[in-house]
Chain A
Amino acid sequence: MTFKIDTRVRALLVLAAAALLGTASAREFLRMREPDLLFPGPGVTGTGMLGDYYPGLVGTPGDTRIFFLKGSEPGGKILVLGGTHNDEISGHVTAITLVENAVVTRGELIVIPRANNSGATFVQEMLGMPAFLELETEAGMRSIRTGCRYSNPAHEYPDPDVFANATGAQYPGTESRNLNRVYPGRDDGYLMEKVARGIIEFINREAIDLVVDLHEAVPEHYVVNCLVGHNRSMEIVAAATMELLMQGIDIKMYESPGVYGFSHRDIGDNTGAYVALAETTDILQGAFRGRPTQELLQDGKDPFYDIVSRKGKVFVEYDSGRGAGLTERVARHLTTVRELANAMAFVEPDKTVVMTGIPNYADLLAEGIETYLAPK
């Protein structure tokens, strides 16, 4: 008798614990499906959705917000893509920093903060990544979803075994959910292929002059802290690289190789825009890092990478005392966007875009990114 009562009580306790854990997990899980609150700044002159330009995305998880910052004087048009790979968080944070702070006086800046909007709704399974970036600002805590480099498999399942994109380039099946492998996209393709088609359509219809795709890379990969330009864009990329180096920002430049599906290749091949993809350093995605904590997400300080760095296995100068913090990564991206704009203006003066309200590199490092992302 006693044994039976104990069993039932134990069963109820286990069920109750499971319900509590499940509820807590579900809340976190579902919280990721809520769009981030953005606070468009005084420079935003209009908003839209990618589906306005490509109806195939309307009502799908791939549709995403676009912010227009138009100056009063005519000039060039720049499109900044954040969140192509959502876990490369400085790309998205740079994009929302522009939306919330930049004011354009000449030309137009257009920002898509979440190019892969589906990927913002989950984190890569089994990696224990923080689901949210938690910034302590003067106006209180601000949570920004991190997300995944891939689109959410709950939005499209299953993956093919082998994925061949519109150019015929073949990748493992999961890459069908990687926006930066599927350009130029297909009308009858996977969800990310439709997003790619939408972005190409948008660029052509808006006659965008320069596209900047913001990313992060692990230190053990050589395409890190760099600009990769479409071959038509290399003069601008070279000029921007030189300016960044003169400002003490260590950066390399590469010409887009003959690999297809990437923004720096296929946006350039399928539009008239200059295209540059910018990479900063991301310790959190690295193979050698320790626990993936909120602190590591924000300060990029990991003593394991000191060891790897001493062994000469990384392509950046790294020490955990300084780390590779989010503020520095965003500062690099903001400065890169500005210098690419300046370079385009130097090469084609009628495509000048003048942006104000964006902190310069030194000021941002001194003040911290939280200063520019306080909820309003």
Chain B
Amino acid sequence: MWKTGDRNMASRIALTLIAAMIAGLPAWAQESAEIRKYPSPFLLTAAGQTPDVLMVKIVSERSKLDFKYQALAKATDLAGAKSVLVVMGVSMKGLGSAGIKLDEEAARVLRLLEEARKLGLPVIGVFAGGAGGRGGRDQLTDSLLAQVAPKVDYLVVIRSGDKDRFLGGIAEKNKIPLTYMETIVDMNKVIPGIFN
């Protein structure tokens, strides 16, 4: 027979276990191997002017996806689009070539995402960790990711670019589903998988 003390102890243990499961649940819920589906045509743009956006463009063209590419997309470019794909990463050379400063770029992207939200368009954020990738000294990409990533509806991230789970943490906090790509080559499966 259980004594009162034993029952209290068992209750505490059970509650502790349940609390731990609930605390861990967001991590299980956010990271998903399943590729989410979104409608096309989609507007493809860059956040930070990383050249990785060109890889996504190439993959999209070769997969014959229905999309429009605009590196410096504005709200007016959303016309006709059913979703938005933003490739995130800062390239100072890309910004320089585009004649735009980082704070102006961040403002542009945030305005675009706000307008997309008003129109009910889902936004997919991709981080391919390439030329606009993160590094110990590179705070610029992290700063932009911190602003843009929380505003998207689905994150696709290269695993090697998120070893510290910076984006994983943003996904958990904001309850955004996240799919990790093991290599850049996985883009050939993931991007068409989202829109087909």
What is the interface of chain A, defined by CB distance below 8 A to chain B?
A: 229, 231, 234-235, 237-239, 241-242, 245-246, 252-258, 346
In contact, B55 and A241 (Cβ under 8 angstroms):
yes
B97 an interface residue at 8 Å Cβ cutoff? yes
Pick from B51, B55, B188: contact of A255, CB under 8 Å: B51
Closest chain A residue, CB of each to CB of B93: A255
State A231–B54 Cα separation when bound (angstroms).
11
| A254-B183 in contact given A242-B55, A242-B59, A246-B188 (Cβ < 8 Å) | no
In contact, A238 and B55 (Cβ under 8 angstroms):
yes
State A239–B93 Cα separation when bound (angstroms).
19
State A242–B55 Cα separation when bound (angstroms).
7
Closest chain A residue, CB of each to CB of B52: A238
In contact, B93 and A252 (Cβ under 8 angstroms):
no
B194 an interface residue at 8 Å Cβ cutoff? no
Q: Which residues of B lie under 8 Å from residue A238 when comparing CB positions?
A: 51-52, 54-55, 57-58
Query: Within the complex, what minimum Cβ distance (angstroms) separates A3 from chain B?
Result: 70
In contact, A253 and B188 (Cβ under 8 angstroms):
no
Pick from A229, A231, A253, A258: contact of B130, CB under 8 Å: A253
State A231–B49 Cα separation when bound (angstroms).
11
In contact, B185 and A242 (Cβ under 8 angstroms):
yes
State A252–B161 Cα separation when bound (angstroms).
14
Pick from A235, A245, A253: contact of B131, CB under 8 Å: A253
Closest chain A residue, CB of each to CB of B96: A258
Pick from B58, B96, B97, B183: contact of A239, CB under 8 Å: B58
Interface of chain B residues 151 through 196 with chain A (CB within 8 A):
183-185, 187-188
**Binding site of A, secondary structure by majority: helix, strand, loop or mixed?**
helix
Q: Which residues of A lie under 8 Å from residue B188 when comparing CB positions?
A: 242, 246
In contact, A242 and B131 (Cβ under 8 angstroms):
no
Interface residues on chain B, size class: 20 to 34
Which 6 pairs show the lowest CB-CB distances between chains A and B?
A: A238-B54, A255-B93, A231-B97, A239-B58, A238-B55, A234-B51
State A253–B94 Cα separation when bound (angstroms).
13
Q: Which residues of B lie under 8 Å from residue A258 when comparing CB positions?
A: 93, 96
**Binding site of B, secondary structure by majority: helix, strand, loop or mixed?**
helix
Additional pairs, 20, CB under 8 Å, beyond known A235-B57, A252-B131:
A229-B51, A231-B93, A234-B51, A237-B54, A238-B54, A238-B55, A238-B57, A238-B58, A239-B55, A241-B55, A242-B58, A242-B185, A242-B187, A245-B184, A246-B185, A253-B51, A253-B130, A253-B131, A254-B131, A258-B93
State A196–B135 Cα separation when bound (angstroms).
35
Query: Within the complex, what minimum Cβ distance (angstroms) separates B175 from chain A?
Result: 32
Q: Which residues of B lie under 8 Å from residue A239 when comparing CB positions?
A: 54-55, 58
Closest chain B residue, CB of each to CB of A251: B184
State A235–B183 Cα separation when bound (angstroms).
20
Q: Which residues of A lie under 8 Å from residue B91 when comparing CB positions?
A: 255
Q: Which residues of A lie under 8 Å from residue B59 when comparing CB positions?
A: 242
Q: Which residues of B lie under 8 Å from residue A241 when comparing CB positions?
A: 55
Closest chain A residue, CB of each to CB of B135: A222
In contact, B93 and A235 (Cβ under 8 angstroms):
no
State A257–B92 Cα separation when bound (angstroms).
8
| A245-B54 in contact given A252-B131, A257-B93, A258-B96 (Cβ < 8 Å) | no
Pick from A234, A256, A346: contact of B54, CB under 8 Å: A234
Closest chain B residue, CB of each to CB of A265: B93
Query: Within the complex, what minimum Cβ distance (angstroms) separates A247 from chain B?
Result: 10
In contact, B184 and A235 (Cβ under 8 angstroms):
no
A-B contact pairs, 22 of them (CB 8 A): A231-B97, A234-B51, A235-B54, A238-B55, A238-B58, A239-B54, A241-B55, A242-B55, A242-B187, A245-B183, A245-B185, A246-B185, A246-B188, A252-B131, A253-B51, A255-B51, A255-B91, A256-B93, A257-B92, A258-B93, A258-B96, A346-B58
Q: Which residues of A lie under 8 Å from residue B131 when comparing CB positions?
A: 252-255
Interface of chain B residues 3 through 60 with chain A (CB within 8 A):
51-52, 54-55, 57-59
Query: Within the complex, what minimum Cβ distance (angstroms) separates B169 from chain A?
Result: 24
State A231–B131 Cα separation when bound (angstroms).
13
Which of B51, B91, B187 lies at the interface centre, i.e. has the most chain A CB atoms within 10 A of its CB?
B51
Query: Within the complex, what minimum Cβ distance (angstroms) separates A261 from chain B?
Result: 16
Query: Within the complex, what minimum Cβ distance (angstroms) separates B8 from chain A?
Result: 51
State A242–B51 Cα separation when bound (angstroms).
12
Closest chain B residue, CB of each to CB of A239: B58
Which of B91, B93, B130 lies at the interface centre, i.e. has the most chain A CB atoms within 10 A of its CB?
B93
Q: Which residues of B lie under 8 Å from residue A255 when comparing CB positions?
A: 51, 91, 93-94, 97, 131
Query: Within the complex, what minimum Cβ distance (angstroms) separates B37 from chain A?
Result: 23
Query: Within the complex, what minimum Cβ distance (angstroms) separates A176 from chain B?
Result: 26
State A209–B91 Cα separation when bound (angstroms).
26
Closest chain B residue, CB of each to CB of A222: B135
Q: Which residues of A lie under 8 Å from residue B93 when comparing CB positions?
A: 231, 255-258
State A110–B165 Cα separation when bound (angstroms).
48
In contact, B51 and A237 (Cβ under 8 angstroms):
yes
State A245–B181 Cα separation when bound (angstroms).
14
In contact, B97 and A242 (Cβ under 8 angstroms):
no
State A253–B187 Cα separation when bound (angstroms).
16
